[in-house]
A and B are shown apart, each in its own frame.
Chain A
Amino acid sequence: MLAREPESLKRVPLHDLHVARGGKMVPFAGYDMPVQYAAGVLKEHLHTRSRAGLFDVSHMGQIALRPKSGRVEDAALALERLVPQDILGIVPNRQRYALFTNDSGGILDDLMVANFGDHLFLVVNAACKAQDEAHLRKHLSGDCDIEPLIDRALIALQGPKAEGVLAHFAPTVASMTFMDAGPQTITVNGNPLACFVSRSGYTGEDGFEISIPAGDAELLATALLDHPDVLPIGLGARDSLRLEAGLCLYGHDIDETTTPVEAALEWSIQKIRRSGGERAGGFPGADVILSQLQTGASRRRVGLRPEGRAPVRENAPLFADSMSTAQIGKITSGGFGPSLNAPVAMGYLPKPQSPGAKGVAEMSFAEVRGQKLLLKLSAMPFVANTYKR
């Protein structure tokens, strides 16, 4: 049953640490990654919400975008040609969520963009990083040097104890607030490690993401895991945590066929890039997206709570009523939420656009193993986030 990993799977710098700590390794986006450890998904999830969890997300892409002019504003303006966000408005040592869009208004990838003073620092999805890099080179090479930081690991420390644990090695991180980001020296056993730290994550909890030279990753990860409040957490719990937090998973909840408005990500598009704004448009698919920002879209990503205990999973078809055979939407992420002790899901449902029409229906039905299960519309996040604002 235990198939050997194909030779082609790439390894992250902490690979041996995962194996040594009992990580169950599975292929993910071309990497051999831990899906869970001995504690299991449920306990890992709950531990992250109550104490702190350490996640290895080194498979993700880290890219430095350096302006040829030397002025970071020029890199920001260049990147604004590819994303609908206000990049110029990101002040030094801050980061912002952004979206690469295509000409039809769909989403090529979602990413984080940080201003490090003299350049921009991007974190992109593992499965998209090669295409993102090519996209950046094709469109921004005239203005920027695009440097994939392949010799860095990326680890996340998430949960209510994250600040206390990390501050032990880097006291200044305690004063960071949500979406602060910048270079930080983390000192482990007298060794100063040159890290980039952001106060952000993918769990809905307060916490940090730490970019670190690959060769130093094990030293830091081991030091963090030595703390009694910290457990290693696999990709399984990472997924259930982000689902409860209402956060999108690229390739599932958002993709090239979903626009930011359909995906309920309007909040990520600042006024200055919208119609009437100082730098309105000028990104791929602007005609579609700017129009939808004013008039809405005919479908919308929503949170759904199944009645009963049965999880409703990705790709389950959605119907308006229990007798209907006409599919109106589908689940894009679904599973069991350990903190809610109940199933949770998100998916796309129609949003009537006629004047005076109500929004997305309060109730819908998902077909699971031939049965129609009732779903109730729910606000997201399902579990309140605890970001330090």
Chain B
Amino acid sequence: MTTLYTTDHEWLRIDGDIATIGVTDYAQSQLGDVVFVELPKVGSKLTKAAAVAVVESVKAASDVYAPITGEVTEVNEELVADPALVNSDAGGKAWFFKIRIADKSELDGLMDEAAYKAHTG
């Protein structure tokens, strides 16, 4: 499995034609204590760069953008019930949603881990 990153501090774990998407540990450290997460609906079609989920801390709301185009196949209901997972395990249990990748060439514009580290460094 490959993990890719966006400049908006999201990660994508690619498994065949399914991408699991979450926000990075760097993102959660900037957001602070997460108290609310809103996810897209299963079956909804996401367009790259559209605001599709929301993550809110005590003090502010932030959008999560679709890093690529595709259809939502699964969302993390556990995260909705326990938004603090974003702070405790951003790269693991706090995945947001999975999408079926519409166009694999969209992955070409994303960063690998080394490039992302340089981006946040």
Contacts and interface: CB of A to CB of B under 8 A. Distances in A.
B36 A369 contact: no
Contact of B32 (A40, A313, A335): A40
Contacts of B83: 309
A369 B53 CA distance: 10
A335 B59 contact: yes
Contact of B36 (A35, A45, A239, A311): A311
Contact of A309 (B30, B32, B35, B58): B35
Contacts of B120: 1
A364 interface: no
A41 B36 contact: no
Given A40-B32, A310-B36, A336-B36, A45 B58 contact: yes
A310 B33 contact: no
A240 to B, nearest CB: 5
B58 A336 contact: yes
B73 interface: no
B56 A236 contact: no
A41 B59 contact: yes
Interface residues of B, number: 14
B47 interface: no
Nearest to B51: A369
Interface string A111-141: 0000000000000000000000000000000
A-side interface mostly? mixed
3 tightest CB-CB pairs across the interface, nearest first? A42-B33, A336-B35, A41-B58
A336 B32 contact: no
B57 interface: yes
A36 interface: yes
Contacts of A343: 36
Contacts of A148: none
Contact of A41 (B30, B38, B54, B57): B57
A381 to B, nearest CB: 18
A338 interface: yes
Contacts of B56: 310-311, 336
5 contacts: A236-B58, A310-B36, A311-B61, A313-B61, A336-B36
Contacts of A335: 58-59
B117 to A, nearest CB: 14
Interface string B12-46: 00000000000000000010110110100000000
Interface residues of A, number: 21
Contacts of B61: 311, 313
A239 B57 CA distance: 13
B72 to A, nearest CB: 17
A43 B32 CA distance: 10
B29 to A, nearest CB: 10
Interface in A341-376: 343, 369
B32 A311 contact: no
A191 to B, nearest CB: 37
B85 to A, nearest CB: 14
Contacts of A42: 32-33, 35, 58
Contacts of B54: 369
Nearest to B29: A40
A343 B61 CA distance: 13
A41 B35 CA distance: 11
B38 A236 contact: no
Contact of A239 (B30, B33, B35, B59): B59
Contact of A240 (B30, B38, B59): B59
B84 to A, nearest CB: 9
A313 B58 CA distance: 11
Nearest to A308: B36
Contacts of A313: 61
A335 B57 CA distance: 9
A47 to B, nearest CB: 13
Contacts of B30: 1
Interface in A322-342: 335-336, 338
Interface in B57-98: 57-59, 61, 83
A104 to B, nearest CB: 33
A240 B33 CA distance: 13
Nearest to B83: A309
A35 B32 CA distance: 11
Given A236-B59, A338-B58, 18 more contacts: A1-B30, A40-B32, A41-B32, A41-B59, A42-B32, A42-B33, A42-B35, A42-B58, A45-B58, A236-B32, A240-B58, A310-B56, A311-B36, A311-B56, A336-B36, A336-B56, A336-B58, A338-B35
